[in-house]
Chain A
């Protein structure tokens, strides 16, 4: 099972594929800015809900969506929850573990919630983009905006390699599970073996991929989807502009809400 291809296949077969990449980038980036700017829980939830349901509606299976969501969450949850104990001065709950007193602060908890919601809203914006827009189209748009070639090429390679890592993680874990590596007592050893073997294999894969790309004279250009069609038809023009109007309206509403009630 290649996660990389699973996700990429969504980008070419979802219901929003006909809408130009520029618009989707605009929607997701602009909404992302609003999410960063606003302090209102309501707007953040609204963004999270709209963007994730839009993504899922466009054809992504919920299971796959959640799977991808787990990746940032595993990093976010521990790092953000630490804040609840560090920030603020009004203790709500106090634990004592081995002579140490840990207290959860009210302010900290509030900050935590806000950060968590903001991150989730932001992630939902970016997920919308990467799951509805083929990477080649995103790169083309970046090129149109005169983003340096090196950044574009790096983005593509990072995009590819993230999935290489995840794939390797999964297959190594399956191999270890099959050999009962996660029974009690073997945990730490298995985990460190898992990580090291995953890294080694990812390096190998990355090297193979790089060679294969080089062998085909890859110079940073991904063929766009237009090569597939004999004669490109833009017969859905009215849908395009309608979608743009909708997107602008959506963001405008959010912006007004954020400015009005944002304190």
Chain B
């Protein structure tokens, strides 16, 4: 869907912020980009729909190289929708439906089509009841959903979310994750890319994890392989997900524990209970 090859970029032409990024995003896959603050996640995202122009390297969207003419950019921005970190920067209209309609209206769609898309986007995020509400009265979590709906109304093939959980309380984060999951299910040829420094989230939720450090992608692959790699995690100023750390601990204690590594607390508890009963059996209790 999107292919990035050897991407180099610098804001001030003195210090490289992106240093040769290679990455591929596939349809129907949930990719999480983890990296500490300032590692270049946002900068990378801004390249994906042509908001920044690379100094070197290429970006392919749906098989076509990005070109930076006005017409081509509109086409790309239809395909690649970015939800920015701060919804207050993104939401410009005073009423929810008005903001969600912004993208479709500017694409020149007919009135009926705009209404249809607004309705569908609100429905997919489960916020139909917010439709006529004023944006400034909404909670942070609701604003976030409105911002996502505004992007979704353009029916992108790649949905990019920059730190979607920042500023949300745990329950709202969970709700948001569930909603993103259901979005992926409903549009099974949509790719999702999420930036975060929350390793727990990345480990539990992603199909694929990429770790970014100082403008480079140092490792990418299955969550367990990437986030279980102590060296990579440490050198990127991240922490290993807690579930994984505990699991690795007991795995060693139990001298090898074949099977699927747990991805969340519940699965971890199951493994621990299993170990406990095994141990009891071995001791003949």
> A-facing mask of B123-146, CB < 8 A → 1, else 0?
000000001101111000000000
A205 touches B154 (CB 8 A): no
B111 touches A217 (CB 8 A): no
Q: Does A259 contact B (CB under 8 A)?
A: no
Residues of B contacting A211 with CB < 8 Å? 46, 51, 84
Residues of A contacting B46 with CB < 8 Å? 211
Stretch of A5-13, A42-50, A117-125, A141-149 contacting B (4+ beta carbons < 8 Å): A5-13
Q: Which of B51, B94, B111, B132 contacts A214 (CB 8 A)?
A: B51
A217 touches B89 (CB 8 A): no
A216 touches B77 (CB 8 A): yes
**C-alpha spacing A11/B134, complex, angstroms:** 11
Q: Does A208 contact B (CB under 8 A)?
A: yes
A228 touches B97 (CB 8 A): yes
Residues of B contacting A214 with CB < 8 Å? 51, 77
Residues of B contacting A160 with CB < 8 Å? 92
- Chain A nearest CB: distance from B218 CB in Å? 27
A134 touches B94 (CB 8 A): yes
**C-alpha spacing A216/B49, complex, angstroms:** 10
Main SS class of interface, A: helix
Q: Does A249 contact B (CB under 8 A)?
A: no
B134 touches A9 (CB 8 A): yes
Q: Does A212 contact B (CB under 8 A)?
A: yes
B102 touches A228 (CB 8 A): no
Q: Does A215 contact B (CB under 8 A)?
A: yes
| Size class of the A contact interface (CB-based, 8 Å) | 20 to 34
- Chain A nearest CB: distance from B146 CB in Å? 12
Q: Does B81 contact A (CB under 8 A)?
A: yes
B93 touches A136 (CB 8 A): yes
* Known contacts A5-B135, A227-B114: A212-B89 contact under CB 8 Å: yes
**C-alpha spacing A230/B132, complex, angstroms:** 12
Q: Tell me the nearest residue of chain A to B150, going by C-beta.
A: A216
- Chain A nearest CB: distance from B163 CB in Å? 13
Q: Tell me the nearest residue of chain B to A215, going by C-beta.
A: B82
Residues of B contacting A9 with CB < 8 Å? 94, 134-137
Residues of A contacting B264 with CB < 8 Å? none
B89 touches A223 (CB 8 A): no
- Chain B nearest CB: distance from A205 CB in Å? 6
* Known contacts A5-B135, A12-B134: A216-B97 contact under CB 8 Å: no
A223 touches B102 (CB 8 A): yes
A:208-224 near B, CB below 8 Å:
208-209, 211-224
B154 touches A217 (CB 8 A): yes
A:1-35 near B, CB below 8 Å:
2, 5-6, 8-9, 11-13
**C-alpha spacing A9/B88, complex, angstroms:** 14
**C-alpha spacing A205/B77, complex, angstroms:** 21
Residues of B contacting A217 with CB < 8 Å? 74, 77-78, 103, 106-107, 154
Q: Does A225 contact B (CB under 8 A)?
A: yes
Residues of B contacting A224 with CB < 8 Å? 98
- List 26 contacting pairs A-B, 8 Å CB cutoff, sorted by A: A8-B94, A12-B134, A136-B98, A205-B89, A208-B84, A211-B51, A212-B89, A212-B90, A213-B92, A214-B51, A215-B49, A215-B51, A216-B154, A217-B74, A217-B77, A217-B78, A217-B103, A223-B99, A223-B101, A223-B105, A226-B111, A227-B101, A227-B105, A227-B118, A228-B98, A228-B132
3 residue pairs, one from A and one from B, having the closest CB atoms: A5-B136, A8-B94, A223-B101
Using a CB–CB cutoff of 8 Å, the interface residues on chain B facing chain A are 46, 49, 51, 74, 77-78, 81-82, 84, 86, 88-90, 92-95, 97-99, 101-103, 105-107, 111, 114-115, 118, 131-132, 134-137, 150-151, 154
Beyond known contacts A211-B51, A228-B98: 8 more, CB 8 A cutoff? A2-B136, A5-B134, A136-B93, A136-B98, A205-B89, A208-B86, A216-B103, A222-B105
